[in-house]
Structures are given as structure tokens and as C-alpha cells.
Structure 1
Amino acid sequence: MKRLTYILLTLVFISCKSEKKDIFQEYNGEMVKVEFIDSKADSLFTGFGGVTYENGKLKSLSYVKNGVPADTLFYYYENGKIKEKGLVENGFQKGWWIYNREDGSLKEKSEWLTLKDSLYKNQSIYFDQNGEVKYKNSSFFNLKIPDTIQVGKNIASFNYNSNIDVYKKLMYVVIENKYSESETKLDTFGIENDDYRFGIFGYEKGKQNIKGQIVEELYEIKNIGNDSAIGTVSNHKKYFEKEVYVSDKNN
């Protein structure tokens, strides 16, 4: 997966040199001159690089380092509207990407993570033509962890929207809690009756990274004949991470 993604994000910028007009394009608030990369020198190129459609309109643009997109990557429709954009790091999409329709309206926002050298879509929010969220199609969460927590036990929560409809579903949160220099536990908190709360432990005063997973355990029944069926169990995970400050409540 890593090799395939790397190749796709690299090849989009390979273009044989020809007589082209200089193109200047806004890039994250800065007007930049777009260079067209020679396929023989693409591994050495560093700068703002892109390719065009046959009609000369800009098709893609990114800051490129040694031939590979290394910052925000833009794709454009032929009418100049942004088709999609997001951050690229080490050949992978990273964080939240946006996807637009040809008229420029927002179609989708998705969060991408890299897990074990593979690209993983962690959240996805879809929008209709009026900009309203299409909840039946979307899968996302809103984390509610305070920026400052106390030493010891703390309560956090989240809102959750699922687009998975199965026979039966269980949900739980797994948190990596550190209790001492030698003890770190994966604590599990079951979610029932839409009570989306879980516990986090503040180990010591100072900055602390909270890491966890929201897990949907899915039970499905599939008919395999007129009078027989088979049950399957699978897990769907969403990952989260947040840096907080731990305060000593005794001071």
C-alpha cells in the first residue's frame, strides 16, 4: 500500500518539458510560480511543482521536495475550481482532506491516517448541494476532552455518528492510560444507552498525550439459503489523539 500510494503521488507531477507559459497560482495564501517537472530530473526537484491539462489549465500543484509532494497537494477541475486538497507527508495523505464538486461546493471531508504503512480513512463527512451534512452516509465523531485535566481520574466524552446498519452492534472505547513509570494499561469503557463517556488518567503534572480508539463491534447475519444463515463478527475502529495539560489539583 505504501509503495502504491508513493508512486501515485509522485507520478502526478512527472511531465516532459515543453514550451509552456509561466503559471502563477495562489498556494496557501502565497502567489507562487509553478514549475513543470522533467521526468528525468523529478527525483532532484524541490519547489512548487505541478502539471496541466492539455488546454494548459493547471491540474495539480504542491510544494515538492526531491520529487515528492511534501506539503498541501491541490487538484483542480479544468474550470479552475479546487477538486480536492490536503496535506501529504512521506507519500501519504495526512489529516483532513476536502473534496469539492465542479461548481466549487463542498462534497466531502475525510480524515486520513497512516497505520502500519497503509492509508486508513478514519472519518468521513458528506454534504448535499445545500451544504447540509448527509448523516446516513457519514461516519465521524466529536471528541470532548478538556485542554486541561487533573492529576488522577478524569471523565471525557464524545459525540458519534455512524453509517453502519447491522443486526446488532456494541461500542466501546479503549484508552492507553499510564499509571506509573512501569505501568500502562489499555482500559476499556463500554458505551450503552448513548452515554458516550470514558475515563482518562492524568499521570503527572505537565503535558500528556491522550491516545485511544472508538470501536464498533458489528454482528451481521447473512442468508446463505432458503432456511439457513451465517453470523459474522467484525470490528470498525476510529482512532484519536490529543495533547492535554495535566494540572496538580493540590496546588
Structure 2
Amino acid sequence: MKKLIYILILLLLFNCKSEKKEIFQEYNGQLIKVEFDDSKTDSTFSGYGGEHYPNGNLKSLSLFKNGEPIDTLFYYYENGMIKEKGLVKNGLQDGWWTYFRENGTLKEKIEWKPKGNDTIYKNQSLVFDNNGKLKMEPSTYFELEIPDTIVFGKNIAFIKNYVSNFKNVDERFLSVIIENKYADNIIKKDTFSDGTLKPFFGIFGLKTGKQIVKGQIEEKILQTEKINKDSSSLTIIDHYKYFEKEVFVSDNEEISEKSKKIIEDYFKSKENN
């Protein structure tokens, strides 16, 4: 699903009337001046730019460098209210984008992830009603319990909550696949599943300092469909959601003891259940 974001902006920006236009607008909390000047070219333009409606109101706005947006890209309704906003990378949405209704109320938040060189993937989606309350039925998202600080060696984390894209299925299973680094040149994909919809997964702390925890949640959906009185078919769908988080690896003994206690308590609770 390729969505070219800024090409149309630049085409309209540099093909407007030769008359130079200036608009003052709030951008990420500060008042900035937006200039529209067709003497600039799309490959060299740096500064605040965008396109505007016939009434003079902004239609889009971003900070550009060498013709590409390098900060938040805003789209506006003709009445001046924000329509959507988020970051752009390689001409595509990147990370969390926020979408609004024409009256200014929050409509949806979507996390976009790259998929290949020219497509993006809707990783998570939070849908809100007119009163700003989260609507569970169309939303699809997850919450992870990953400590901000981990220790050398083995650490444990959890899926705290998982809201699926797929409703009313017969069975579903969740697994977590983590890219664990055990040495500078050894990275393994470890898979964790405990038969529940809130499985634990292991994170390996390699050395003191910042570390990126990177992985994916695999959802396996089993759906049976009755063909006739005596037979049915089984459909298996594998669906993935991706995550990464920056953590700090510590050699603090007190933190290490707390981590061990969390792991012990978790497995004790599993035995009791």
C-alpha cells in the first residue's frame, strides 16, 4: 500500500502563481512563517512549505530540507482544522500518525511500519468515538510489559494486552519472536509461547548501556468452516505485529535480584493456575 505523501505537495507548492505568498501558522508549538514561491525548485527547497486552499488556508505543512519533509507533516481541512499529522520517511508515513474529524475531535491513531522499499504496513490502530473514548471493536493494538532497565543475561517480559484484527474466530494462539543478541556477531530469533494470549518472552542483556529490544508478535488464527453435514475445512492465518523498544542494561545487583524475583513469581503463578 504505497502512499506518496509529499510529491503532490511539492508539485502544487512550486506550480502556484508567481506571486510570493506568506502565511503565519503554528507549527509544533511555535509560530512560523510559511513562504510560497515558485522560483524555488522541489529538489533544492529547504524551509517551511506546503500547499494551500483557494481561500488561502493551508492544506499541508512541513519543514523541508532539499525538497523532502524532515519533521511533522500536517494536513488540514479547508476550515483550518488539522486533518492528520505524523512523520514521513522515504516519502511514506512512519510511526504513529494522528487523524482528526473536521470539528477537531480525535478520530484515530495509526502506527505505520515500513514493508519493503515503497510500501507501509498498518501495525496498530486506535479508533475513537465522538467523545474521545476508545472503540474496542475496530481497534487493533497490543501492550507490552518490558522493563526500562534490564540486567546482564536473561530477563523476562510479557504481553499485557492484545486486541486482534480478527474477531469471532474459533481459536487463536500468540507467540513472541525476539531477535536476541548473544555476542557481537551472534543474533538468534528466539520464539516464546505458553499457550495463553498473554505469553512471556525472554530478553537477553548483552552488555551495559543502551540496547534495542526488537521483535514481533505472531498471531495464529484457526477458523473452521462447515462444508456439509459430514465435513468441514480448516483455515490457518498467520498475522504479525512488530515492536521495538530502547532499554538500558545495568550491572546493578539490586536490580538483578528484583529481576530474578519477578521471574520466580511469574512461574509460580503459572504453576498455581
1:54 and 1:237 mapped to 2: Cα distance? 43
Amino acid at match of 2:38: D
Shift of 1:84: 0.3
Point out the more displaced range, 148-157 or 228-237: 228-237
Instruction: Note if 1:38 corresponds to 2:38.
Output: yes
Shift of 1:228: 6.5
More helix by share: 2
Equivalent runs, 1:1-251 vs 2, <5 Å: 5-6=3-4, 8-15=5-12, 16-18=15-17, 19=19, 21-36=21-36, 38=38, 41-117=41-117, 118-158=119-159, 159-165=161-167, 166-222=169-225, 230-250=233-253
Point out the more displaced range, 41-50 or 81-90: 41-50
Shift of 1:108: 0.2
The sequence identity of aligned pairs, in percent, is 55
Shift of 1:243: 1.6
Counterpart contact for 2:20–2:37, Cα < 8 Å? no
Shift of 1:54: 1.9
Shift of 1:233: 2.1
TM-score, normalised via structure 2 length: 0.82
Describe the superposition over 1:51-101 as per-residue Cα deviations: whole angstroms up to 9, x where unpaired.
111222211111122222221110111111100000112212111110000
In structure 2, list runs of 5 or more residues that go unmatched: 255-273
Amino acid at match of 1:160: Y
Q: 1:169 to 1:39 in 2, by over 3 A?
A: farther
Q: 1:27 to 1:85 in 2, by over 3 A?
A: same
1:27 and 1:74 mapped to 2: Cα distance? 9
Give the SS at the match of 1:104.
Answer: coil
TM-score, normalised via structure 1 length: 0.89
Counterpart contact for 1:10–1:69, Cα < 8 Å? no
Shift of 1:40: 7.5
Q: 1:209 to 1:35 in 2, by over 3 A?
A: same
Amino acid at match of 1:11: L
Give the SS at the match of 1:13.
Answer: helix
Aligned residues: 248
2:74 and 2:235 mapped to 1: Cα distance? 40
Amino acid at match of 1:14: L
2:25 and 2:156 mapped to 1: Cα distance? 47
Counterpart contact for 2:51–2:60, Cα < 8 Å? yes
Give the SS at the match of 1:53.
Answer: coil
In structure 1, list runs of 5 or more residues that go unmatched: none
Amino acid at match of 1:66: N
Amino acid at match of 1:91: G
2:89 and 2:39 mapped to 1: Cα distance? 21
